A and B are shown apart, each in its own frame.
Chain A
Amino acid sequence: MGCIENLEYEKILPLGASFKECREYVEKNFQEFWYVDPGYKLFDEYIIGLPPIALGIDGGRVIFPYTKPCHGTYLLAVDDAVEAERVRKTARKKK
Chain B
Amino acid sequence: MTIAQPPGNALLILGCPEVPVQQALALHIAWSLQKQGTRVHAAGNPAVLNLLKVSDPEKRYLPAMQVLENCIEEIVEKKRTCDLCIVFAHSDAGISYAATLRHLLPSSRLVVIIFGKDPEALAALADFPCEKIVEKAVHNPMQIRRKINEVFGWAA
Contact with A along B91-128 (1 / 0, CB 8 A): 11111110110011000000000000000000001001
- B→A interface (CB under 8 Å): 15-16, 18, 44-45, 47, 68-70, 72-73, 75-76, 91-97, 99-100, 103-104, 125, 128
Residues of B within 8 A of A19 (CB): 92, 95-96, 99
The answer to whether A73 and B93 touch (CB under 8 A), given A38-B99, A39-B104, A49-B99, is: yes
Please classify the interface of chain A as helix (H, G, I), strand (E, B), loop, or mixed, using the class held by over half of its residues.
Answer: loop
- A→B interface (CB under 8 Å): 1, 18-20, 37-39, 41, 45-46, 48-51, 67-73
Which of A38, A41, A51, A72 is within 8 Å of B91, CB to CB?
A: A72
Distance (whole angstroms) from the CB of A36 to the closest CB of chain B: 11
Task: Kindly state the separation between the CA atoms of A44 and B1 in the bound complex, as whole angstroms.
Answer: 49
Which of A39, A45, A49, A70 is within 8 Å of B96, CB to CB?
A: A49
Distance (whole angstroms) from the CB of A52 to the closest CB of chain B: 10
